[in-house]
Structures are given as C-alpha cells and as structure tokens.
Chains A and B, each alone.
Chain A
Amino acid sequence: MLSSLTACSGPQSTLATRGPRAEFIAEIWWAMFAGAVLIQLLVVTLAIHAYRRRGPLTARSRRALIVGGGVLLPVGVLTALVLYSHYLGASLRDPIGGALEIEVVGHRFWWETRYPGGVATANELRLPVGRPVRLALRSEDVIHSFWIPSLAGKLDLIPGRVNRMWIQADQAGEWRGQCAEFCGSLHAHMDLRVVGLPPDEFDGWLARQRQPAKAPTSAAARRGEQAFLDHGCAACHGIRGTAADGRGGPDLTHAAERARRDLLWPPQRPRPAEWIVDSHRASPQAAAAVATLDPATVADLARYLEELR
C-alpha cells in the first residue's frame, strides 16, 4: 500500500518491486522502518523525560533501566527481527529447475549480457516474465556490482571469480539497473535497461537474436560495412555473419535492436551518428580512433548499424 505512493516509485526504486526477491526485502524494510520509528521515539522520549523529571532514581530502577534498555530491548528486538526475516526468507529457496542461464560480464563502463546460443547484447537485460533466471556474473577488468533494485539486491562482479544469483520478473515492463561498485571515471553512467517480456515474446526475440547479421541493403550501409572492417572497428566489435569478430567491445550483430544505445544521458536516444562518437567516450583509445573518422564515414557507419536488426 505504502509502496504505491509516488514517492517510492521510479524505475530504479527498491520499493517499487517487480520480483519476489526485491519484494521480500521491501517487506522487511517496512517492518524495520516501523520498529525503528518506535524505538527512536522511545529512546528520545526517555532522554527528554529523564532530563525534565525531578527526584532521584533508586539504585534498583537505575539498574532496571540499564539492563532493560541496554540488554533486554536489543536482544528481544534483534531476535524477533532475525526470526521474522528467516520466516520470510524460507519461501525464497533457489529454483530447482527450468531456469534460464544468462551470463553477465562487467566492463568499464558497460554491461555485456550473454544468452544461450551465442547471443550477446550490451547494456540491456531481457527476461521472460514468471521464469527464474540464473545469472553468472564475472568481470573483465575491475570490480563492478550488478544491481536491479526492482528485482533483487546487488552482487559484485569480481575479477578471477564467478558469482551466481537468481532473479525473476513477475510482470512485463521496463526498469533500470546500475553499477553499484565504484569502477572509475564513468561509473555513474554504467546503467542497464531491464526489459521483462511475456515468455513467447522473449522466445521470439531470442530466436531473432540467434540469427547472424543481415547483409546491408542500401549503398550507404554497404560502404559502412566496408568502413567498419577497414577502420579497425572489428578489432573490438564482433558482428556474427561477417568477418568482424572482436571481443573487447559490445557485440553489434543486432545493434539496432538495443533497448539502450546511448552511453551518456541525456539525450536518451541520440541519433546513430552521435551514438558512435558518444559511446566511445568510455575508452580514450577508442575515442581517439573514432575522432579520426571523417563525417561521411561516420554517416555510412551509422547507416550500417541502423540496418543491423
């Protein structure tokens, strides 16, 4: 009820929950919030009352106050809290089967998501509604933290390790996730779009993603494809079905279908040519390489990317 207040909504709110794991935590939060308000009132009232009162306190009531407030109160409250969260958490066992496996790789400063069948996208995560999803998290450089507040708490991506968690979206919609461990200069911009899709739509999307890239149709796009290979873009980017097989940067096989394609906001959806320049700001070397391209080439490249559906 409270969480439906506008103050708590928002695409990245821990209180506007869309999945069981976030819901469980939000429920604990509201219980703890109520308890904290009560205890805060109690202690502050006691302190003020203590100050305003006249007449001495007997040794016995002094001890009762210290033991009651300092020992019994915290022990009682904490025991209740632990039992309560345990009781709620008991319903959250890991899913037994039927989970979809998705690999999430952290890069400075973008997210790579890899699906079964060799599909890789960037800065977006599509989920089938109502189906548990098992995530394998790893990092290619520094520590990042994977966090989609509407669905679950966060878990770090740590070089040299693979961390695992599961999430589930209970309804269709679009939310936002963001890197929660400081990872350097552009940390504030390392966010990802999360899209919950009805299962059949999700399957259709995944099937389309598994296809190799379509050959460009327009002349400009064909020039763009050539420019892509000639100017070293393929050193970092892969496009399945072409000679481009770079692994350092985002896979662009279906680049035009991305839910999120800008690196810096605003604007939320820049034009493709701006996108090319803008998205390379994350890496100084790549930005320098892009800066050498003349505007006509950038326009051709943009046309080419626009056709990668």
Chain B
Amino acid sequence: MSAGAERLRAGLDRIWGNQPGWRALSAVNHSVVGRRFIVTGMVFFVIGGLLSMLLRTQLAVAGNDFIDRDTYNALFTLHGTTMMFLFAVPILEGFAVYLIPKLIGTRDLLFPRLGAYGYWCYLFGGLLLYASVLADAMPDGGWFMYTPLTGPAFTPGKSADFWLLGVTLAEVSAVSAAVELVATILVGRAPGMTLRRMPIFAWYMLVVGFMILLGFPPLILGSVLLELERAFGMPFYDAGAGGDPLLWQHLFWLFGHPEVYIIFLPGAGMLATIVPVLVQRPLASYTWLVIAVTATGFLSFGLWVHHMYATGLPYLALSFFAAASMAVAVPTGIQIFTLIATLWPSRPKLSVPLLYVFGFFFIFVLGGLTGVMVALVPFDWQVHDTHFVVAHMHYVLIGGMLFPLFAAIYYWLPHFSGRLPSQRLGYIGFWLLFIGFNLTFLVMHLTGLLGMPRRVYTYSANLGLEWANLVSTVGGFVTSIGVAAVLLDLLLHLRFGQVCRSDPWKADTLDWAMPLPAPVYNFVSIPRVDSRMPLWDKPGLTAEQLAGDHYLASASRGWREILVSDPTSAEPTQVAVVPGNTWSPLLLAALTAAIFIGFLLSAYWLSVLALLAVVVVAAGWGWRRPRLPPLVDAGRGLTLPYHTHHPRPPGWWGTLFSLLPDATIGLSLLFAYFYYWTVGPGWPPPEPVLAMDWRVVLGLTALVGASALLVAARRALAVQRVRRARLSLALGAAMLVLFSAVGLVALVDGVAASAHAYGALVWAVAGWLGLHKLGCVAMALVALPALGRPGDEPRSLLGIVALFWHYSALQSLLLLAALLVFPRFA
C-alpha cells in the first residue's frame, strides 16, 4: 500500500475514531452503537432465558411449589416482555445499524446522534423495567397487559407502571432506529446502487423499518392512555365509565401482529444474504423475494384480530381476518422456496451458519404450519391461550428469528473480531440447541390439546399433563446448555480464534470489501457500484476502495463526511457532514427517561420539566449546525454541495419519516374515537357535543393563519428578504401559541377528564395537539436566528420547519373535525 493511502487511513481513523476509556460513552458511530445494541440484547436474552428455566422448573411436576403463584406470574410477564422488547427487536435493529451502512457502501448512518439516543433509550427502558425487581413491584399482568386487569382497580401500586414506562422507552428506541435506517437506506446508498441493485437485506430492513414506524405507535398510544388512566383516572379502558377493555386489545395487536413479522423478516433477510454466499451462487430470484417481503409487510397489518377470535366478535369479521392470516402463507412460502431453490445447485461445506439455515427450515416451517391451523377460527377457539399456542409461537420466533440470528452471528463474527470461531464447539452448540428446542416445544402442542391453558403456575395431577411437562422441562435445560455452548464459543474465539484479516466467505456484498475487523469509517473511499453483486462482478473493488480510488477519499477537512444520494437513481446529490463524538444523545435519553421516572414517582412536575428540557436539548441539535463552504470536491471529478446548502438535506428526510409514526399515533387516536362511537359500551356519551364558541373559532383561524404566514416566510426568503421572513415566522409562532392558549383551552373547558372515556379522549387529543404546537414553536425559535446567518442555506432549515408545521396543522384539523363536527351528524 502506498504511503498516501496509509496517511489517508490514519487521518480517517483520527476523524472517525472513538474516545478512549469511559469517554467512549460519547461515541455515536454506527458500528459502536450497533455493537452495543447487540451485546446488550444478548445480555437480556440470557436473562430472559434464565427466567424461562425458572418457569419450566416450576412446571416440571404437577402441584409444584418451587415458585409461588404471584412470583410465577411476574416471571412469565418479564420473560415475554424481555424476549420481545429487550431482545428480539433491539438485537435485530442492532445488526441492521451495524450492517446497513456497510452493505450499502457508506461510512455511517445519516443521524448518528439519533442512533446513539435510541441505544440509550433502550438501555434505560430495560433498566427501568428491571428496577421493578429492586422496588419489589415486578409487573405481573402478562406481556400483553390486558385491561382491566392492569388498570388502577385490579393492579394498584406501581408494578404495571414499570412495564408501561420501561417498554415505551424501549419502543422510542425502536422507532428512532427505524427512522434512521429507512432514511439511510433510501438516500444514503453508494453511487450507482439503484433500488434494483440494493442488497436483499437492505430491502428487508426497509420494509421492516416502515413496519416499525407504523406498527409501534398504536402500542405507544395504548400504553400512554393506560398510564393516564392509572395516573389520573382517565377511564379509557373502564367499561363502567364509557371505556372499553377491548380497545386495548385492538391497539396492542395492531402492534403485536406486525411485531411478529418485524422479528421474522430481518432474520429471513439475513438468510437471504448468507445462503447465496455459502453456495457461491446468486439468489434464485431477487425479484420474487422483494415482492414477497413487501407483500408480507402490507398483509401483516391486516391480521391483528386473529389474536382476538375468542372475544366474541362477529363471525363474518373473523372470517375476513382468517383469510388474511392464511394469505400470508403465500409470501412466506415464496421466501422459503426461494431459499431452497438457491440452495439447490451446489453442495457447499456444511458450515455452522448453514446448519442454522437447515435448523430454520425444519423449525420455522413447522411453526408456519401450526400458524395456518390457529388462523382457522374454530380450531383457534380450542387452542387459543393454551400451550399449543406457546409451542406455535416459539417455533415461529425461535425458528424464524433465533436460528437466523445465530447463523448471522457465526457468519459476521470475523467482521466484529477479525477472528474465526471454533468449528467443533459451534457444531455441539447447534445440535444441543436443535434437539433441546424440539424436545421442549414439539410435545407442548399436545400439552395444549390436552387442555393446559397458558399462564398457569401449576396444574392438577389428574389431567394427564405430567409426562409432557416433564419432557418439556428436560428439553428446556438441554436448550440452555446449547445456548451456553454457543456463548462460550463466542467468548473463547475472541482470544483463541484463528486470526482472519479479510473476507473468509468470498462474499458478493460491500460489507466484506474492507479489512477485518472493520475500520470505524468502513470505507477509505465510497465505492461506485454498478451491479447487484459488486464484489463478484468486480473482484478488484476492495483494493480500489482501499487505495482511495473512489469518492470522498480525503481526511484533510477534519470532519465526518458521507455521501447523500437520490432515492431511486442513487446518484450523489450532496455531501453530508455527520456529527462526531458527543454527549448530547446520552443527555437527551437521560432526560427522556426522567419524563417516565416522573410518572413512576407520581412527581409530575419532574415529567413536565424533563419534557421541556428534552425540547430544549433536541432544539440544540438544530442550533449547532456546522458552518460549511458551499461546495466540496467529492473525488473522481465530482463536485457536490454540502448538505447545509442543499434544499433537501438529510434532516428533511429524517423529519419526513418521523412524521409517519407521529401520524400513526394521531390516526390511532382517531381509531379509538370512532371505535368508541361504533361499538363502545356506554356510547354515545351523555354530553357528546363540544361547544363551538368564539374561542374555538379564533383558535382555528390562528392555526390556519400560522401555516399561511410560514408560506409567506418561505416566499420572502426565496427573494432574499430576510427580515420579512423572520417577521412572518415569528408571527406564525405567535399564532400557534394563540391556538393552544385559547383554542385548545376552550376545547377542554368544562369537560371532565375522569367521568367518561369521551372527556378523557377530548383531553388526550388536546394534549397531543398542544405537544405538537410546542414542537412547532421550538423549531421556529431554532430557525429564526439561523435565517440571517451568512454562508448558510437558510431554505433547507425552513423547509424542515415547513414540513412539520403544515403536517401538524393538517393533523390538528382532522382530529378537531372528528371532535367538533362528527358528533353533530352521528
């Protein structure tokens, strides 16, 4: 390697490097954040697994008194919650955070601070949930937290609050990671990597990212409403006061079913990446896979009611959801048979990742078949909430997520450590896991058919359930030994593994176009890509990018640069400077956690203060914009503007994708409102019509006026009339304050929040809109001084403000029309 390239790499190391020692906590680089997600996820996996061993020990024999019933109820709640919210989703997102930039040929995600913030929220959420153990208030309402059992009447104390607040914090993390994955996949790809050339894993994560953005918000809203009911007696789920416990189930499963695919699809995407490399042939059909993944994403939102067959909904409605549930077998079948067809032509070495691929086939297909069975309404009436479903669900999740995850861990291990694991221990771990798993869960189908319900801490000796439960318990311990063997293998390889400095698999994707372990900046120069399998079609690409022959091969400017490209053509449009090491994500996450802790301690003043602090710190991210020259030489004769001089900077895309979960929460509120009107017991409410007095009219006028003023501000700015633009923006912000202080206050004036679910919902809508106006005003305050700053492109910032303002005005009008106009016709 030439001395120039050597100097370049040293320079990039200096710019992209993390701080040593405890100051490493300020790191925001995607590789570090991804690794933290993965390691933390593994820790929670071990905790969740140990909990399951306690559960299985208790069930080993009938009438066992190893664990008392209340502890058992808490332990199964924690087991499910941990595996779903603190293991499966975060670890997969961690893998995506680590891999996606490498697969699509860039140096970092677009919003490194958001990624780091997401990690800290996840960690704090997990710690908050487990703080319940220390506080002797472990949640014990099940991972599904059905109301009214988890409401204030039947679960007094703080146990349910630990769950609601901890899990919501972890969900904030999932959503922020999804925003940045979606944005980066769409506009962060290497030059020439069109959508059709995108690695298949990026397609999977793009779909999963959108699913998280649309799937998590209903549960976030549901949890917030339940917390409001618990904290302030707003009776959203109380059937005695116009609420409905079934609303919780709808909101929960609107999240919960997509969640299953959010967990399964990344695993399938990993397999679709790994299998072609192991057999050294391209995927049997890239197009079919992309169609199947997209179809799964859409279908997954039409299935939630199949968790509610036994709630007494009309049979016709159930039939619709049964058909949709079965239809999802088609895209799933396409994915499985594409993998089989890919595997067909060759006879690769039976490596550890390939073993896990076969494990996936056996286990996941069986889980899919029982999934078809439980989609059939009458059969589900028998096995719903029995151990049959426990078995089904573990086949799907362990087959569809854990086995692919372990295949991925073994496949990408050299990437993290630059070493290879031991073959022998890997084989032993796999077989223990495979045999132990099937021993535990195959017989459990029968346990359920013989009449064993879920979530029982013990069972009667005369039901014929004893031998089956004993087999499951023995199998559970074999599985645990298998997991221990795998973990041991992973730990030992760090020290004893054979050193491996470059791609051991002869892979086709860009993630292997770098020395191992991967450098923090990934690529010395951002490679140009002109095919779907860049390393197979252009074997010299790795050497070229290492020599700095491609884009952005410079360390002289001293800041972290990445390319931003067009979503479809993938031609570069600008160079974005992304932030380096900073403490602000940790601070922001701590403040976010403080909002939740305030609720936990019933110290609501703390929550309010923390919320204001969150707005200030988040606004600070917008304040500290780097001052950049207008143009930069991106290499290979390409000159590009810096992102602060581009009308659609990354922040615009980030804001756009953040609006999706926000809009989904708004729509979920609307869903709740119309749900109550149509089927809620105790509806219509006694006083359903809100007054439309002059204050409301004034508020609405101010709302529309604010948006008009923003349009005027942008026009003024376009012709360089900065003062006029500032005046318009300031006036607009004042209008929004007027809307909140007069209009929203008039809306809730005289409406009791705790008498009826109707009043509670009106307050919830008013609060939701008020929060948005707070956000709008904060954005305006950030933009105001920046408008006149020399050497900056102010239009880019004002464009982001406009996106949020107009969107929020539309959402306000929609929700207010539902509240103010609809009851007059209902």
Contacts and interface: CB of A to CB of B under 8 A. Distances in A.
Nearest to A64: B341
Nearest to A79: B326
A116 interface: no
B559 interface: no
B365 A40 contact: yes
Contacts of A85: 376, 378-379
A125 to B, nearest CB: 16
Interface string A1-16: 0000011111111110
Interface string A49-93: 011111111000011011011110111011001100100010000
Given A32-B373, A143-B245, A73 B333 contact: yes
A160 B240 contact: yes
A111 interface: no
B451 A66 contact: no
A191 B463 CA distance: 12
B464 A9 contact: yes
19 contacts: A14-B451, A32-B379, A65-B344, A66-B284, A66-B338, A69-B336, A78-B326, A82-B323, A82-B376, A145-B310, A153-B310, A155-B381, A156-B311, A159-B148, A160-B245, A163-B311, A188-B456, A266-B63, A266-B461
B244 A47 contact: no
Contacts of A69: 333, 336-337, 340
A154 interface: yes
The interface centre, meaning the residue of B63, B312, B338, B382 with most chain A CB atoms within 10 A of its CB, is B382
A289 to B, nearest CB: 20
B556 interface: no
B448 to A, nearest CB: 8
A55 B345 contact: yes
Interface of B: 63, 69-70, 73, 141-142, 146, 148-149, 154, 239-240, 244-246, 284-285, 288, 292, 310-312, 323, 326-327, 329-331, 333-338, 340-341, 343-348, 358, 361-362, 365-366, 369-370, 372-373, 376, 378-386, 446, 449-465, 681-682
Contact of A66 (B288, B327, B449): B288
A182 B140 CA distance: 10
Contact of A182 (B142, B346, B461): B142
A154 B310 contact: yes
A74 B333 contact: yes
A185 B361 CA distance: 39
Nearest to B148: A142
A43 interface: yes
B386 A65 contact: no
A153 B450 contact: no
A47 B343 contact: yes
Contact of A81 (B346, B376, B380): B376
Interface of A: 6-15, 22, 24-25, 28-29, 32, 36, 39-40, 43-44, 46-48, 50-57, 62-63, 65-66, 68-71, 73-75, 77-78, 81-82, 85, 89, 108, 137, 141-143, 145, 147, 149, 152-156, 158-161, 163-164, 176, 178-188, 191, 265-266
B449 A178 contact: no
A84 to B, nearest CB: 10
Contacts of A188: 69, 456-459
B434 to A, nearest CB: 13
A82 B331 CA distance: 19
Given A66-B334, A78-B326, A185 B154 contact: no
Contact of B379 (A29, A181, A185): A29
A89 B378 contact: yes
Nearest to A58: B345
A153 B381 contact: yes
A9 B446 CA distance: 11
Given A10-B450, A47-B361, A156-B311, A36 B69 contact: no
Contact of A149 (B73, B362, B382): B382
B149 A183 contact: yes
A58 to B, nearest CB: 10
Contact of A44 (B148, B240, B365): B365
Contacts of A66: 284-285, 288, 334, 337-338, 341
Contacts of A145: 310, 385
A63 B341 CA distance: 8
B310 A155 contact: yes
Contacts of B312: 137, 155-156, 158, 161, 163-164
B380 to A, nearest CB: 8
B456 to A, nearest CB: 4
Given A39-B365, A57-B344, A188-B456, 14 more contacts: A43-B361, A44-B362, A75-B330, A78-B326, A147-B453, A153-B380, A158-B311, A159-B239, A163-B312, A180-B385, A181-B310, A182-B385, A187-B455, A188-B458
